[in-house]
């Protein structure tokens, strides 16, 4: 899938968030999404769209310096992790391990290589990249 603007990427994320809210979360399930891609490929932008679709009212920003951010929405919680700066996630891996056993929770993880052994096998992976023309490319479950 190709996005030519931030608006298109947010719109896709919003649709995804709405599907998650109306599907999995209806059954009190956990949803884990891993976002793979270099800096600037749109991981946080996509997360903002997902949050909007879920009904998060707060402004979603990158958790690069705080490692995680929690947002509530009607009926659940969005937890956004960014392990970019952590070679050893330590206590944050413990936090993630606790969160992925929660119901009605959507977990979005950026730079998840260091916690790969904690993630459920059935989580969704989106790979984001930039094309030569500056558009964003998204591939699912690669």
Q: At what angle do helices 43-54 and 6-22 cross, to 10 degrees?
A: 40
Coil, helix or strand for 130?
A: strand
Coil, helix or strand for 78?
A: strand
Q: Are 126 and 33 in contact (CB under 8 A)?
A: yes
Q: Give the range among 15-19, 23-27, 110-114 with minimum mean pLDDT.
A: 23-27
Q: Are 62 and 88 in contact (CB under 8 A)?
A: no
pLDDT band at 24 (very low <50, low <70, confident <90, very high): low
pLDDT band at 101 (very low <50, low <70, confident <90, very high): confident
Predicted pLDDT at 52: 97
Cβ of 11: how many Cβ atoms within 10 Å? 15
pLDDT in tens, 7-19: 999 999 999 999 9
The answer to whether residue 55 scores a pLDDT higher than 80 is: yes
């Amino acid at each position: 899938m190709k996005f030519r603007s931030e608006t298109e990427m947010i719109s896709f994320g919003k649709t995804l968030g709405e599907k998650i809210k109306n599907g999995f979360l209806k059954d009190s399930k956990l949803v884990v999404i891993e976002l793979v891609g270099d800096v600037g490929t749109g991981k946080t932008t996509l997360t903002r769209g997902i949050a909007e679709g879920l009904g998060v009212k707060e402004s979603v920003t990158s958790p690069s310096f705080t490692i995680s951010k929690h947002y509530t929405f009607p009926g659940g919680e969005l937890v956004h992790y960014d392990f970019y700066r952590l070679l050893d996630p330590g206590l944050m891996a413990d936090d993630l391990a606790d969160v992925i056993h929660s119901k009605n929770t959507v977990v979005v993880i950026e730079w998840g290589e260091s916690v790969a052994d904690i993630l459920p096998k059935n989580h969704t992976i989106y790979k984001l990249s930039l094309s030569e023309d500056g558009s964003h490319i998204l591939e699912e479950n690669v």
